[in-house]
């Protein structure tokens, strides 16, 4: 999950609210690949991240409600329509500003970024363990309440926190590959993504990482292209992109076509639509709301599982309300909004209570990256630009 503070945040100014691996503050003007106004560019990326984290929350809300017969199955169909673009867009957005991280020296990157991510991942596995052992049985997750989940989580990110783990893996993998020609990097990543769609790589979580790595690389290396695409955000272009995605989706889902790589093609259309929608929302009221969420996705991502469980339990205990057909249909939307808002307010309260260690590796352990070194290295490699 995850956000930037260089534009300021209406919710918190702490770097703890930043997306893990988000290095926008490390990118100097000399390293910019486009003359697009900085404010507009940052806003649409944060809007995209805000949009995707809302969709992630919706996914988890729907899953919990459907399994308890508290909302219509059609919501799973809606989530299925969004699946090809939901996480890829987040990883593209994360990769867009990872150049500074990749340009760091290995010891600096491992200590200040990778260790930070792994710390958050392991810490919140422990938090999940503690919370799910006290949550009511109706909404408690037996797997999270087991200590084996903590031990196994070291090598098998099989929890809702897999994204945090994935960013650390992607950072290391991208840096290891950084000296290779781009065509080699993308060929390997595409092959891995296609392979993961047909074969199980140890576990679903590793399949996810294998499938989505190519989108992190896309954000990392195709930044200039993505920025140019985002500038074509007129209504006709946005509608055309959405229609194209819907058409390709309908063809692939409505026929028996099973050509390796077609899901990547579908996701590419989805990314195009996602980028244009996010860019078109800049300076709209909805865009402003998503922008605030996008700059604070980390606390939402870390706490969504727990907060959803609490909210669903509350709905279960009010059957007079929860049993109404109209309530069941709109429940996913209401609980999604409530989860996001609660996460932001709880995060703000925890930060005010100086519990920053819940959202960032303590500075003494994390170390401080050399700004001058990262800046120089980034500027020197601005031509080699993955959430």
> Which tens digits make up the pLDDT trace of 45-63?
999 999 999 999 999 999 9
List all residues 6 or more positions away from 229 whose beta carbon is below 8 Å from its beta carbon. 272, 275, 276
Rg (alpha carbons) of the chain, rounded to whole number: 20
Distance, in Å, from the CA atom of 190 to the CA atom of 263, rounded to the nearest integer, reads 11
Averaged pLDDT, 5-11: 28
- Token digits of residue 374: 């990262």
pLDDT above 80 for 1: no
Q: What is the largest CA-CA distance in the chain?
A: 63
* Concatenated DSSP letters of 123-171: HHHHHHHHHHTTS-TTT--TTTTSHHHHHHTTT---STTHHHHHHHHHH
C-alpha to C-alpha distances, 40 to 117, 119, 157, 207, 311, nearest whole angstrom: 28, 33, 35, 34, 35
- Under 8 Å between Cβ of 106 and 345: no
pLDDT per residue as tens digits for the range 61-113: 999 999 999 999 999 999 999 999 999 999 999 999 898 999 999 999 999 89
The C-alpha atoms of residue 298 and residue 268 are separated, in whole angstroms, by: 25
**Residues in CB range of 349: below 8 A, 6 or more apart:** none
- Percent of the chain exceeding pLDDT 70 equals 84
pLDDT at 42 over 60: yes
Burial 212-228 (b: 16+ CB within 10 A, else e): bbbbbbbbbbbbeebbe
Give the pLDDT band of residue 10 (cuts 50, 70, 90): very low
> If DSSP codes are grouped into helix, strand and coil, which group holds residue 217?
helix
Cβ count near 126 (within 10 Å): 13
Q: Count the helices and strands in the chain (H runs, E runs).
A: 18, 0
Q: Tell me how far apart the alpha carbons of residues 298 and 80 are, in angstroms, rounded to a whole number.
A: 24
Give how far Cα 277 sits from Cα of 77, 229, 238, 381, Å.
21, 11, 6, 30
Kindly tell me the burial class for residue 267, based on how many C-beta atoms sit within 10 Å of its own C-beta (0-12, 13-18, 19 or more). buried
């Amino acid at each position: 999950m995850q956000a930037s503070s260089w534009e300021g945040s209406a919710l918190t100014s702490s770097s703890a609210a930043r997306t893990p691996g988000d290095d926008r503050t490390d990118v100097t003007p000399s390293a910019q690949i486009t003359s697009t106004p900085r404010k507009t560019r940052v806003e649409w990326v944060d809007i995209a991240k805000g949009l995707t984290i809302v969709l992630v929350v919706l996914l988890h809300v729907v899953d919990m409600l459907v399994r308890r017969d508290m909302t219509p199955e059609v919501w799973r169909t809606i989530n299925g329509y969004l699946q090809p673009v939901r996480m890829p867009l987040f990883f593209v957005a994360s990769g867009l500003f990872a150049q500074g991280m990749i340009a760091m020296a290995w010891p600096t990157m491992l200590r200040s970024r990778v260790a930070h991510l792994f710390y958050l991942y392991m810490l919140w596995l422990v938090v999940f363990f503690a919370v799910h052992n006290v949550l009511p049985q109706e909404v408690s997750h037996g797997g999270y309440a087991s200590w084996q989940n903590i031990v196994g989580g070291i090598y098998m990110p099989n929890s809702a926190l897999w994204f945090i783990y994935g960013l650390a893996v992607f950072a290391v993998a991208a840096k290891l590959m950084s000296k290779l020609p781009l065509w080699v990097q993308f060929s390997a990543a595409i092959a891995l993504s296609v392979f993961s769609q047909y074969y199980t790589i140890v576990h679903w979580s590793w399949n996810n990482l294998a499938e989505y790595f190519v989108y992190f690389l896309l954000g990392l290396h195709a930044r200039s292209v993505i920025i140019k695409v985002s500038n074509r955000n007129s209504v006709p272009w946005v509608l055309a992109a959405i229609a194209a995605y819907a058409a390709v989706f309908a063809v692939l889902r409505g026929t028996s076509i099973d050509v390796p790589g077609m899901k990547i093609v579908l996701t590419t259309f989805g990314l195009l639509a996602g980028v244009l929608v996010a860019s078109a929302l800049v300076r709209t009221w909805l865009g402003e709301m998503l922008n605030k969420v996008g700059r604070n996705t980390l606390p939402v991502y870390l706490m969504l599982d727990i907060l959803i469980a609490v909210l669903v339990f509350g709905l279960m205990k009010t059957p007079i309300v929860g049993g109404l057909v109209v309530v069941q249909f709109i429940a996913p939307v209401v609980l999604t909004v409530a989860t996001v808002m609660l996460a932001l307010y709880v995060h703000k309260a925890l930060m005010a209570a100086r519990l920053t260690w819940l959202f960032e590796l303590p500075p003494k352990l994390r170390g401080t990256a050399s700004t001058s070194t990262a800046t120089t290295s980034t500027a020197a490699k601005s031509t080699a630009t993955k959430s």
